[in-house]
Amino acid sequence: MNNMTQIFDISEVENGLSLFKEDKPFSDEKKLKVYYISDMHLEHHFNYEISIQKQINKIVKDLFSDDFKSDLSMNNLVVLFNGDIADNAEFVSLFFNQFILRWNYVLYKRYKVNQSNILPDEEVKAYEKIRDQQIDRLNKIGKLYKKKNLCEKLLSLDISDLDKSIKKMKLPEYVINIIEKITKCDYKIRFINNYIIPYVEKREKFTFIKTKLPIFVTLGNHEISNFDTLSQAYNYYKSLYDSLGIKLLHNNSYENDDYIIFGGIGFAKYNERYNADSLCGPRLFSRKEEIKESDLFFKEYKNRLDNAINQKKKLIVVSHYPVRDWSLNYVTDLHCSYFTGHTHQNQNLLQKNIYADNQIGYYNNCFKMKSVNLGVASNPFFDYKDGYHVITTEDYAKFYNYSKERIQGTRLIENQIKNYGEKFYMIKHKGKYVFFLISHINTKICIGGKIKTISNCSDIEHFDKIFDKMVNKYIELFAPYWKYINQMASEVKSLGYCGDVHGCIVDLDFCNHIMINPLDQKVTFYNSPTMGFVKIFDNLENLITYMNNGYILNIEKKKMLELKNNNAIISKTSQEISQEVGELIKIDIKNSVYSISNYMRQIQRLFDSNILRDWNEDIISIQKKVSGT
């Protein structure tokens, strides 16, 4: 029996206990809209022959897209600036003063359009009167139904629990409408008091107004580089941001009933190549101090994580440096969403809840806020019984959002339904899913936003009948491969590198990778700085040596020796690994429109997200051969 099969018990695969994430009705997240941007490096985008202020005005105006402007008055809005706005502290000050000016201007314009004939203090009184009338109605209902403190109890509930509580108390259904009116009035009153009245008091003269803004900023290594010490930089920027009503995250946090937002620089304790010895920072800042700062950041992060778990809150972590630089072995937690920058390598790592995909850098002149909805990600199919069902594209998109899988829209699927009368089906069995478009002539499988014809059969019952067999066969054939490659990824992480798996590839970082080809079992250690250019190495040690400009760090030598003593996969040569992998599968995918790795990435969805995105009925009859048996 080959080693790859030995490390994985096939019975464990068939029951799915260790490979598949649990099928749940909801994700861990509650509704929040987050806009984020990092690494703007303003100096690199200026034309110094014209007004700097005008160029900053233009950049700020570009950030205020129509979507962003429409969301400014949301209750659950967070705006994140994740470091490296500029090296020059004066430019940072000019930028944020202009940003707050634009923010207030947008809100003021909206107020003038919608409420031009009503004075704001009179409007507050009107809303207060309506609110008080509704509270009085609620109190009377409480007396009538002998419910003490009814108003206080109902207003303290989450809106999603109201209906159940009202039914339990046997109150009339219209009570929920009363609660909604009170809540709406409270929101309007707060909005006018916080954002509108300050303008009227200034007699419509536009000036800097300190308000309770949902804007959070971390410092980057460039902002702090014009100071002798980190504390000097912190004191300067703390004073600046306090004057503008902006919240500076520097190993501290803010929280409400649902969220904790924690952040800071993070620094680079675990990056022995790019750190305080090689990167810009405070002039008197040493590597020893950097390690101390990373330890402090991680300690405070763990404290907030424990609090979030205990309080059943979501933790948003904002660090200028990437997670792998301050978290040993690149460990992340499902309770968190991470927003990072620094590398100028835009990545959206959904499986790790990492958003690092709006780093502007030195050369990109497109300044735009990106956004993500950390909103209630529900599984619309959780309550569906096993079998086949006609579904909508809306629910399909919601399911992909719940699964944290990217989907490039559903337009192609919608076109097939609208123009060709095809029916959109989902098959569900034991928490596993597959999606089909079926016409009178053929069946297509849905692969995210794409489709692929897989059969001339148009009978959904045929596919439903063999779905379990299909899933089990894919598991049987591919599980040893995924177990093997995931073990390799775990070993890569133990060295302090990325370890993300996509298809046949394990990432060390953005440019350096390991690939196991499932067709010929060839293992390749390689560097690829850009698409189409590859430099191949015989083993991981040689690749890491190349990554580190000709040497291996002592800590890496020690860890690699430990891995070798433990017979780790990555400590072996390409030839040795290929012999261990052996003959895994015999499926003809050479004629696939996808590359090998992209094909394997589709199979990976079955293990990561419970979604079958390939359909080949020929594999049901394949008898798996294992050497030595």
| CA–CA–CA angle 351, 356, 359 (5° rounding) | 160
Nearest by Cα to 90 from 238, 280, 226: 226
Query: What are the φ and ψ backbone dihedral angles of 202, each rounded to 5 degrees?
Result: -90, 10
- Tokens 């958003």 correspond to 355
SS (H, E, C) 6-17: HCCCHHHHHHCC
**pLDDT of 197:** 61
**Residues 135-165: pLDDT tens digits?**
888 888 888 888 888 888 877 777 667 778 8
What confidence tens digit (pLDDT) does each residue in 31-74 have?
788 999 999 999 999 999 999 999 999 999 999 999 899 888 77
Neighbours of 147 (CB within 10 A): 17
Say what the pLDDT of residue 440 is: 93
Measure the CA–CA gap between 520 and 590, rounded to whole angstroms. 12
Output the pTM of the full model: 0.53
Any idea what DSSP says for residue 570?
A: G
User: Which distant-in-sequence residues (6+ apart) come within 8 Å of 159 by Cβ?
Assistant: 183
Q: Is 334 exposed, middle or buried (0-12, 13-18, 19+ CB in 10 A)?
A: exposed
pLDDT band at 22 (very low <50, low <70, confident <90, very high): low
DSSP string, 397-437: HHHHHHTT-----SHHHHHHHHHH--EEEEEEETTEEEEEE
How many other β-carbons are positioned within 10 Å of the β-carbon of residue 533?
Answer: 9
H or E stretch including 349?
strand 347-349
pLDDT at 331: 72
Please name which of 77, 100, 84, 89 lies closest in space to residue 38, comparing C-alpha atoms: 84
For residue range 289-310, list pLDDT tens digits in order: 999 999 999 999 999 988 988 8
d(CA 517, CA 7): 19
pLDDT tens-digit map of 210-259? 446 899 999 999 999 999 999 999 999 999 999 998 999 999 999 887 78
- Token digits of residue 227: 């100071």
Q: Which residue has the tokens 């099969």?
A: 5
Q: Are 97 and 208 in contact (CB under 8 A)?
A: yes
The more confident residue out of 89 and 540 is 89
pLDDT at 532 over 60: yes
- Please check the confidence at residue 120 and state whether its pLDDT lies above 80: no
User: Can you give 50-80 as a three-state secondary structure string?
Assistant: CCHHHHHHHHHHHHCCHHHHHCCCCCCEEEE
pLDDT band at 24 (very low <50, low <70, confident <90, very high): low
Alpha helices in 403-522 (DSSP H): 411-420, 460-494
